[in-house]
């Protein structure tokens, strides 16, 4: 088993009133285990649409999707959310932390969705991953008490806590200044060196150097692979 993800001839349409938009056109992608893939392209080219399909957050209209050796083209919504909880970690541009929860409780959330993890084990894992992102001392604070870069590191700890096969990051540095963005990229690089597969969307040409492969999307087509 070496490809975590294989897409074959994926097409995606958005239907709006009388309009039909062909958002992804015959997309073929193989993503091996351990890749640091960047998806680049202009605004509106289809990057988020592609990420949402890869992350089982959205459906597609034709083609086949193989995840970790399993054909996942026709899974039910329930089966997809199970796969998502078990194998995928998400990082977003705006962090998406829950302000009414402490940092520790935010990081713990995926384990609660997963179920069947004892309080003791949950605590141990929360502390392990807060330590990995260097923020164990913030465990009982609230998200708004942290800087943007710290909040994104918390979001990364949350994405990691289920030990996912793949981490999806949609513009993870988009809301950060460039020095803080660099810290986040260095953290992602470290995780990638430990063999985590990372799939990241970015506009930022300066981040290309962190990628092991770059896919350029143009008008819903894979225009170039480097």
- Which residues contact ligand ATP by CB under 6 A? 14, 16, 21, 23, 41, 43-49
Contacts of 4 (CB under 8 A, 6+ apart): 31, 32, 33, 35, 67, 68, 165, 166, 197
Give 127 or 219: the residue with its C-beta nearer to ligand ATP. Answer: 219
Tokens encoding 87: 């194998």
Alpha carbon distance 13, 134 (integer Å): 42
Q: How far is the CB of 167 from Mg ion (least distance, A)?
A: 17
Give 23 or 156: the residue with its C-beta nearer to ligand ATP. Answer: 23
Q: How far is the CB of 177 from ligand ATP (least distance, A)?
A: 20
Q: How far is the CB of 121 from Mg ion (least distance, A)?
A: 36
- Tell me the Ramachandran region of residue 63: left when phi exceeds 0, alpha when psi lies from -120 to 50, beta otherwise: left
Specify whether the CB–CB gap between 146 and 126 falls below 8 A: no
Q: How far is the CB of 54 from ligand ATP (least distance, A)?
A: 12
Alpha carbon distance 141, 45 (integer Å): 38
Residue 122 interface partner, choices Mg ion, ligand ATP, none, CB cut-off 5-8 Å depending on type: none
Helix/strand/coil for 143: helix
CA-closest candidate to residue 151, choices 118, 186, 190, 180:
180
Separation of CA 80 from chain center: 15
Specify whether the CB–CB gap between 38 and 213 falls below 8 A: yes
Q: Does 162 bind Mg ion (CB under 5 A)?
A: no
Give 48 or 150: the residue with its C-beta nearer to Mg ion. Answer: 48
Residue 23 interface partner, choices Mg ion, ligand ATP, none, CB cut-off 5-8 Å depending on type: ligand ATP
Contacts (CB under 5 A) with Mg ion, residues 40-59: 48
Q: How far is the CB of 157 from ligand ATP (least distance, A)?
A: 25
Q: How far is the CB of 170 from ligand ATP (least distance, A)?
A: 8
Strands 166-170 and 36-40: unpaired
Give 10 or 111: the residue with its C-beta nearer to ligand ATP. Answer: 10
Give 49 or 152: the residue with its C-beta nearer to ligand ATP. Answer: 49
Residues interacting with Mg ion, by CB under 5 A?
48
């Amino acid at each position: 088993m070496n490809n975590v993800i294989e897409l074959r001839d994926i097409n995606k349409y958005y239907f709006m009133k009388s309009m039909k938009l062909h958002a992804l056109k015959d997309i073929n992608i193989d993503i091996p285990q351990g890749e640091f893939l960047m998806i680049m392209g202009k605004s509106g080219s289809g990057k988020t649409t592609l990420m949402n399909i890869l992350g089982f957050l959205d459906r597609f209209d034709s083609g086949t999707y193989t995840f970790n050796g399993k054909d996942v083209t026709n899974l039910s919504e329930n089966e997809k959310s199970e796969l998502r909880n078990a194998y995928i970690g998400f990082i977003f541009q705006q962090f998406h932390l829950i302000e009414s929860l402490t940092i520790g409780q935010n990081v713990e959330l995926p384990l609660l969705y997963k179920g069947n993890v004892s309080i003791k084990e949950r605590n141990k894992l929360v502390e392990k991953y807060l330590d990995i992102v260097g923020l164990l001392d913030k465990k009982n604070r609230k998200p708004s008490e942290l800087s943007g870069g710290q909040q994104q590191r918390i979001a990364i700890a949350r994405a990691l806590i289920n030990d996912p096969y793949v981490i999806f990051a949609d513009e993870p540095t988009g809301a950060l200044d460039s020095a803080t963005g660099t810290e986040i990229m260095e953290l992602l690089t470290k995780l990638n060196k430990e063999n985590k597969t990372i799939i990241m969307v970015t506009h930022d040409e300066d981040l290309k150097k962190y990628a092991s492969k770059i896919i350029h999307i143009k008008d819903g087509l894979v225009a170039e692979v480097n």
